[in-house]
Amino acid sequence: MMLLLSFFSFNLILSFILSYLALFMTKKKKENREKSSAFECGFDPKSNSRLPFSLRFFLITVIFLIFDVEIILLLPYLISSNMSSDVFSLITAILIILVLLGGTLYEWAQGSLKWVNS
């Protein structure tokens, strides 16, 4: 127990020393009005430089991430299904697929998957 406590305290002290060392060795950034403003040949910007972001892109990204997580959840089952015939794993995999299918059908029924509104 004493060895674990000394190891933990050594790591804690070392991390504080390295973080303070990095803090003092880096260049200090001083906020400057000229450096933080947009560069437009010395003139003030006339309009907002950012364009509005379409929420449809965000929705497609979220749907992609959900199905990507589905693949991560189902891949171990597909690999281990050759080794054993576990009924609980099969039921869990089918349940995951049904929940995702239900969510996709709900999004489709709400019209969120339509790219162009008619």
What does the block give as tokens for 59? 């929705």
Domain ranges of the chain: 55-80+87-110
Q: What is the pLDDT of residues 26-83, one digit of tens each?
A: 766 566 666 666 665 656 656 666 667 777 788 888 888 888 888 887 887 777 776 6
Query: Please, which pLDDT band fits residue 13 given cuts at 50, 70 and 90?
Result: very high
How much is the pLDDT for 12? 92
The single residue listed with the structure tokens 């991390």 is 15
Distances (CA, A) of 20 to 5, 15, 16, 26, 28: 23, 9, 6, 10, 13
Query: Please, which pLDDT band fits residue 14 given cuts at 50, 70 and 90?
Result: very high
- Count of H helices and E strands in the chain? 4, 0
What does the block give as tokens for 7? 């190891």
Residue 70 to residue 101: CA distance in whole angstroms: 11
Output 17 or 108, whichever has higher pLDDT: 17
Q: Model pTM?
A: 0.46
